[in-house]
Each structure stands twice: as C-alpha cells, then as structure tokens.
Amino acid sequence: MRSWTVVVLLVIAVLAALALNYVLLYRVAYVLAFVLIIGYVWSWANIRWLEVERTTSTTRAQVGERLVERLTVRNTGPLPKPWVEVHDLSDLPGHQLSQAFGLLSGAHRAWRVETVCRQRGRFNLGPIVVRTSDPFGLFPRELTLGEPQTLVVYPQVVQLREFDLPGGELSGEVRTRRRTHQVTPVAAGVRDYQPGDSYNRIHWPTTARLGRLAVKEFELDPLSDVWVLLDLQAAVQAGLGPESTEEYGVTLAGSVAKALLDRNWSVGLIAFGQSHEVVPTDRGVRQLLKILETLAVVRALGRVPLAEQILTESARFGRNTTLVVITPSGSDAWVESLTLQVRRGVRPVAVLLDATSFGAYHSPLVALGALAAAGIPAYVVRRGDPLDLVFASRTAGDHTPAAQVSAPRLDGRPRLP
C-alpha cells in the first residue's frame, strides 16, 4: 500500500509540474521516482540472496521430551538487508521459532530453540516463510523455503512393573516344546542340514564352527496373544486436554502394551476412534513403536459402542487370548459382550476409568458390579492417580473400586524403548 501511495504522489507531482511549470515539483517527482526504482530493485535483491538452513534433533519424540531445532539464515548477496522476518509455519503447540533482525552483506544469524512436546500427535515442522523489504518499506516481499517435516509425538508411557494378567501363567503359556517346520519367533536349536531345507534357515555361525551346514529349528509359539482394546467412543468420554479420559486411556494403552512386550508377550492394539485402527499382535521394540505410532494420532471421535466393538472384533480372539479393555463407560452392556468372550475361552481384564473423577455423571459402579458377578478382573483408575501405584497396590482379581490416591500423577520424563 505504501508503494501505491508513492506512485499516486508521483503522478500528482508530475501533473502539477507540467501544469504549473514549477521546478520544485519536478524535483519532487524525480525524488519519488528515484525512491520507487531504488526500493523495487533493493526488495528484489533482498529476497533473492537468502539461504535458510534448518536442523531438527529428531522426527520422533514423546510427551514430555524436548525437541531441539537450530535455524541459520545467511545473506549471500552484496547488499545489506535491514529487515528480515523469519516466520515458522509449524503447527506443534508451544513451538516459537520466529524472529526479526537485520543482516549485513555476507552475514548470518543462527539461533537454537527448545520446545517441550506437551501434546501427542502428528505435526508439521515448517516450512519457513521469510519476509523482507526495501529500506523505505515500499515493496515487502515474501518467500516460502523448505518442505515441511513430520514430527510424531508419542503418548506418555508409564512403567507398570506390577501389572498382572489374570490367572498367573495362562494355559497358553505352557512350554510344549513342539517342533515345527515353520519359521516362528522361537528358535529351538540347530541340526545338520538335510536336502530340502530352505537356505534362509542356515545358521552361519554354527556352520562356520562345525565345518558343515547347520540349520535352525523352531518351536510353535508357546505364549498366547494379548489384545489391548481402547474404547474411544465420543459419547462416554469426559474431561478436557491432558486431564481427560481420552488421554488417560491412551497413556494406559501404551503403558500396558509396553509392560507386556517387555515380558515377551505378543501384543496387539484395537482402537475405534476417528477411524478403525488395528495393530496385529507381535513382539519386540518394533511392535511397541507401531502401537505408539497409532496411539499418537487416535482421537476419541468414535461412534461405535464398546459392546459392539467387542463383538465386531471377537473373530480375532482365540482360546486363551487375553483381552485388556480400557474404557470410561459405566454401562453394563459391554460386560455382557465380554462375558460371551469368556465362554469362548478368552481371558479378559477390564481397566475402568472413573468418569466421575473427570467431571462426568456416569459412575463405573454398575459396570464394576457386572464385572464382579461375571468373575472378570478389573482395575479402576481415577483422575490424578499415579498409574504405577494404582496397579501395584491391587491385584487383577480385586473387583472393588480402588481407594482415591492423593499422590500426583506420574509426570517424569518418559523414555522411548
């Protein structure tokens, strides 16, 4: 707008000079024309001799961890840049990278920014928008640099060292030592190579030591699967932000999965949120990262009631499968669906989020009574409960509501596996 003001003044000065033949008006017109030309050329040069370098410490973080970024802006042109504004288009909450400064010819400006990741999710880091102008502020320019990088913030994970599954050692956990020709996660030993054995089963260290081909033998997987079912139906949620049943449920799901994966259980995840998410059962650190990746983006926007969720997914649950249900629902309708799974040999565990402690009116007592009548183990988690103490202070077979724990919730810095 300033440039148009100068243009209008220039036109007026020229017309007045021609009409009045007044020398001073000609000089004013010359000055205005000179300012316009110099300003345009300067702004054109300013935006074209800029380099921006951005380095990010990681593309994966966890709630509570710090993201460290370093940004460097260089003036590679022959002219100084009296005003350079760097604006970051990242959508990570609390992320402040923008600055305004001047740069001499050949100079650079670098700064380091630390951002605490306070919210799980998938976020964009960048791009960078650079704004500059001429010394008169007549011709502002804007340039977008770089491609956005994706940052995934995993939910907080709490160490649940005392979390127990029902019945102690499940029947699916008995070491049967049944050999199989299939490749499984359980290696039983090695034997001499026989014609027809697959080359990918050759155990090269043993082959080198013995001087003859040796192949690996495998056993049938002796451990039963564990499924974690996270109820994300919107209608049963309560609370806001970090102090909500949604965030507590996500933290619990990740914490339970990690606790069981650390014990070499095969764990899977089911979540009915804004979409139907299923992470098939598996073991190891890679499986934990898959589960945390899914939990990072799920939202409590589901419309499917928990009772229907259980019935829909029942085909995945075999005999001796353990099903961990995490829900704030106080209804007993889903307990009936869970009881049907018990008759099929499924071993359920319920983790109830007491919605009343999050500001809702539906109490978990009805669901707890139905679970007790069905003999299904249950835990109760209230807002503010330190999760490791809640699980450590009770056994899975105790159906009575847990006492209110006044200690603050765990908020120490979580660690990725």
Pairing of strands 266-272, 347-353: unpaired
pLDDT digits over 130-186, tens only? 999 888 888 889 999 888 999 999 999 998 877 777 654 444 444 444 555 555 555
| pLDDT of 182 | 53
Q: Is the same domain home to 269 and 150?
A: no
> Domain boundary residue among 124, 154, 184?
154
| pLDDT of 416 | 47
| pLDDT of 414 | 40
Q: Is the same domain home to 241 and 365?
A: yes
Query: 308 or 404, which is more confident?
Result: 308
| pLDDT of 166 | 65
Q: How far apart are CA 71 and CA 94, in angstroms?
A: 17
Query: 292 or 9, which is more confident?
Result: 292
Q: Which of 78-82, 83-87, 271-275 has the lowest mean pLDDT?
A: 78-82
| pLDDT of 319 | 84
8 Å CB contact between 202 and 212: no
| pLDDT of 223 | 56
pLDDT at 16 over 60: yes
Q: Looking at the domain assignment, is residue 136 inside a domain?
A: yes
Q: Is the same domain home to 63 and 181?
A: no
Q: Is the same domain home to 244 and 192?
A: no
Q: Is the same domain home to 182 and 261?
A: no
Q: How far apart are CA 46 and CA 167, in angstroms?
A: 72
Q: Looking at the domain assignment, is residue 283 inside a domain?
A: yes
How many distinct structural domains can be found in the chain? 4
pLDDT digits over 329-371, tens only? 999 999 999 999 999 999 999 999 999 999 998 889 999 999 9
pLDDT digits over 183-221, tens only? 555 566 788 888 877 777 888 888 898 888 888 876 545
| pLDDT of 3 | 64
Q: Looking at the domain assignment, is residue 159 inside a domain?
A: no
- What is the pLDDT of the chain when averaged over all its residues? 85
| pLDDT of 180 | 52
In this prediction the pTM is 0.78
Q: How far apart are CA 241 and CA 177, in angstroms?
A: 49
Q: Looking at the domain assignment, is residue 141 inside a domain?
A: yes
pLDDT digits over 87-101, tens only? 999 999 999 889 999
| pLDDT of 403 | 32
Work out the percent of the chain whose per-residue pLDDT is above 70.
Answer: 84
Structure tokens at 251: 């933290």
Single-letter residue type at 100? A
Q: Is the same domain home to 42 and 73?
A: no
Domain, as residue range, for 60: 47-154
* Average pLDDT, integer, range 244-273: 95
| pLDDT of 395 | 38
pLDDT at 404 over 50: no
Work out the percent of the chain whose per-residue pLDDT is above 90.
Answer: 56
Q: Looking at the domain assignment, is residue 144 inside a domain?
A: yes
Q: Is the same domain home to 54 and 78?
A: yes
Q: Is the same domain home to 277 and 378?
A: yes
Q: Is the same domain home to 236 and 382?
A: yes
Query: 378 or 19, which is more confident?
Result: 378
- For the domain that residue 265 is a member of, what is the CATH number? 3.40.50.410
Sheet with 50-56: strands ordered across:
50-56, 66-75, 108-116
pLDDT digits over 29-68, tens only? 888 888 888 888 888 888 888 999 999 999 999 999 999 9
Q: Looking at the domain assignment, is residue 414 inside a domain?
A: no
Q: How far apart are CA 152 and CA 60, in angstroms?
A: 5
Q: Looking at the domain assignment, is residue 349 inside a domain?
A: yes
Q: Is the same domain home to 241 and 366?
A: yes
Q: How far apart are CA 370 and CA 372, in angstroms?
A: 5
Q: Is the same domain home to 252 and 321?
A: yes
pLDDT at 122 over 90: yes
Query: CA 237: distance to chain centroid?
Result: 20
- For the domain that residue 128 is a member of, what is the CATH number? 2.60.40.10
Q: Is the same domain home to 262 and 363?
A: yes
| pLDDT of 282 | 93
Query: 6 or 94, which is more confident?
Result: 94
pLDDT digits over 226-248, tens only? 999 999 999 999 999 999 999 99
Q: Looking at the domain assignment, is residue 42 inside a domain?
A: yes
